[in-house]
Structure 1
Amino acid sequence: MQFRLEKRAEPSRLMLYLAPILALAITAVLGALLFSVMGYDGIGAVREIFLTPLTNPYKWQDLAVKASPLVIIAVGLSVAYRANVWNIGAEGQYIVGAIAGTGVALLTYNLSGPWILPLMLVAGMAGGAAYAAIPAFLRTRFRVNEILTTLMLTYASVNLLNYLVFGPWKSPTAMGQPQTVLFSLDQSLPYVVPGTIIHLGTPIAIAVALIVWLVMSRSVFGFQIRTVGLAPHAARYGGFSADRTVWMALLLSGALAGLAGILEAAGPFGRLVPQFPTNYGFTAIIVAFLGRLHPIGCLFAGIILAITFVGGEVAQTTMRLPFAAVGVFQAMVLFLLLAADFFVRHRFRAVEPKTSARPA
């Protein structure tokens, strides 16, 4: 008896919904065992990571702040992946978006007015889109794989950020620290819930998910993205250009990554620092697939990943769990979620081995 891996024709909705729940349950059990072996209260550690961010109202604001950039980036990536355009460099577009928006902030530092923040957001989106245009050009003109170019450009963006904050953009009042000046009130995101740290980025993330969902489900653009991704030959027959789709998918995903970048710079950070790259762009890849490449699914998947981030910080503080142990637990969460998603869409099928006929 042999087994062959094959793709399921159409996974049931029940399997799609239960698989992430089962993966999280298995993660909780394995995590409790892992922390117990390390000499900690395993059940208590898992409770702090998974339940405290949900049961403690003071942590809800942290969830909103952590989930917002993940959702925005993941929604853009979901559109690109639906078109079979593999943008792996959202982290770089996130950084360049923040740099472009910060450039506007520095140019308008001595000015005031409600127009400054919207201009920064537009610059952030333009910066992310422009950075994504490089792999789009290389893909459509020279057929260079966008996986390689988007990923390598991420490292270039980190070096550009370090050059600016250590050099021409370094604040003269920062006591030698590599950082830009602190953004002014007109350059910072307003808080939407008084007495909390929930800023304007949270409703923007929700709006982005809803708008992209409507566009993908009700517009010709969404139909083109889905058609090119599922049936390229049929798309060409229908008059849809594959190269044009590559451009649209990369520009949109880059613009949303850049928007997330400037929202973070104008929100939680309030300036640019070398620690600004937080791997949101890479984590959002997991969020996009966990959300089934659906904008509304990305909204819920972003909250799930934010729970692990906030809960990990809580566990480090309350139970003195080492950072490395929390990182291993978070990696376990991601691995099992991806494994569950894989086995929902694939299965092992028993097949009889072929036997060669004996000569007479």
Structure 2
Amino acid sequence: MMRYRLEKRPEPSKLMLYGTPVAAVVLTMILGCLLFSAIGYNGLRAVQEIFLTPLTNPYKWQDLGIKAAPLIIIGTGLSVAYRANVWNIGAEGQYIIGALAATGVALMTWGMSGWWILPVMAIAGMAAGMAYASIPAFLKTRLNVNEILTSLMLTYASVQLIYYLIRGPWKDPMGIGFPQSRLFSEAARLPNIIPGTIVHLGVPIAVIVALIAWFVMSKTVFGYRMRVVGAAPHAARYGGFSETRTIWLAMLVSGGLAGLAGMLEVAGPFQRMVPGFPTNYGFTAIIVAFLGRLNPLGVIVAGVVLAITFVGGQVAQTTIGLPDEATGIFQAMMLFLLLAGDILVRYRIRRVSPEASVGAA
């Protein structure tokens, strides 16, 4: 009976590394076309509406910026953590907690004016995201509890906290029974940077955050620490880099940026806290981080690609009746193909005869 094993290839070229995400997107379009055709939809039209219409329709470009901004910020934070081999899967919860902290500031300053309100909301959002990320960091460094499980489970606690607050202490007294907070004051809302559009200040902030992260990760000791600890933990310990400190730094950076994204989202498109605020940006940003090759510059491009699927999915719902879950199917397929491509780039499948297996034993 023949057996197979994975054998590590020589170090792949940059062309192969950066060509894999492009191939994953193209294959997603092809397989998505076949899949939706098989279940009774116009597969070619579905791919066109999801991947091409947001780019060819100028009225959708502003939507791309709004959707891409939180994905870029959260994806940047996750790329830093994953570089250090710290697997923060709970960015969605940190994003929600950051938005709740910003909402608390907005409600406490309701009716007030002043330029300082938005910066205080941003600081509160980042601090709350960092505090929430510190829980799995503490459990990991003190009790060796897997950060994947703890960060993920805390996400569901944050969703329940939203429901409690907007149905109780933060419920809008003028909301006619709807579970939502009151509308933020003008000073607590992000200004639009392009007149006549919905493009708010958070869009350029997202790009600036990614550029700063790229500089820090590629040009500073902090970035060098993250890369070394993630790639060669034994060498990092020999070089004097503390693994515990690196875990804390990675979790705090990723949690803080997720909290900032939550603040920008609640002060921008939503302008109040509502039950529908959890939009899975934190989970989608995981795909953004890997599609961008854990490089903040690549995260900018990947954030736009995933934003295209969000906007295109909404277009496809109205034009051809595609279900809302179609966006998630395309995104999941993209991640699967990307990870599969990474394995094939780094490993080859080798057939091993039974005699060779016995001899090796």
Give the TM-score normalised by the residue count of structure 2.
0.94
CA spacing shift, 1:356–1:237, aligned 2, 3 Å: closer
Question: Partners of 2:62 and 2:108 in 1: how far apart?
Answer: 32
Counterpart amino acid of residue 347 in structure 2: H
Note the C-alpha offset of 1:343. 2.3
Runs of 4+ in 1 over 6 A off after TM superposition: none
**2:145 maps to 1:144:** yes
* 8 Å CA contact retained: 1:127, 1:255: yes
Question: Partners of 2:22 and 2:185 in 1: how far apart?
Answer: 43
Note the C-alpha offset of 1:135. 1.3
Paired residue for 1:121?
122
* 8 Å CA contact retained: 1:290, 1:341: no
**2:41 maps to 1:47:** no
* 8 Å CA contact retained: 1:126, 1:255: yes
Paired residue for 1:292?
293
Question: Partners of 2:7 and 2:189 in 1: how far apart?
Answer: 51
3-state SS of 1:51 partner: helix
* 8 Å CA contact retained: 2:313, 2:326: no
CA displacement, residues 191-239 of structure 1 (integer Å, 9 cap, x when unaligned): 1122111111111110111001101111111111111112222222222
CA displacement, residues 122-165 of structure 1 (integer Å, 9 cap, x when unaligned): 11000000111111111112222211111111111111111111
CA spacing shift, 1:322–1:140, aligned 2, 3 Å: closer
3-state SS of 1:354 partner: helix
Question: Partners of 1:244 and 1:310 in 2: how far apart?
Answer: 39
Identity of aligned residues (%): 68
Note the C-alpha offset of 1:351. 3.9
Note the C-alpha offset of 1:356. 8.2
Note the C-alpha offset of 1:326. 4.6
Paired residue for 2:173?
172
3-state SS of 2:64 partner: helix
Query: In the TM superposition, what are the counterparts of 1:8-87 in structure 2 within 5 Å?
Result: 8-87=9-88
Question: Partners of 1:356 and 1:43 in 2: how far apart?
Answer: 47
Note the C-alpha offset of 1:8. 3.1
Structure 2: any 5+ residue segments left out of the alignment? none
* CA root-mean-square deviation: 1.8
Counterpart amino acid of residue 274 in structure 2: V
**2:354 maps to 1:343:** no
Question: Partners of 1:356 and 1:106 in 2: how far apart?
Answer: 68
Deviates more, 1:322-331 or 1:79-88: 322-331
CA spacing shift, 1:306–1:110, aligned 2, 3 Å: same
Question: Partners of 1:85 and 1:324 in 2: how far apart?
Answer: 30
Note the C-alpha offset of 1:267. 0.7
* 8 Å CA contact retained: 1:83, 1:230: yes
Question: Partners of 1:355 and 1:248 in 2: how far apart?
Answer: 47
Paired residue for 1:278?
279
Give the TM-score normalised by the residue count of structure 1.
0.95
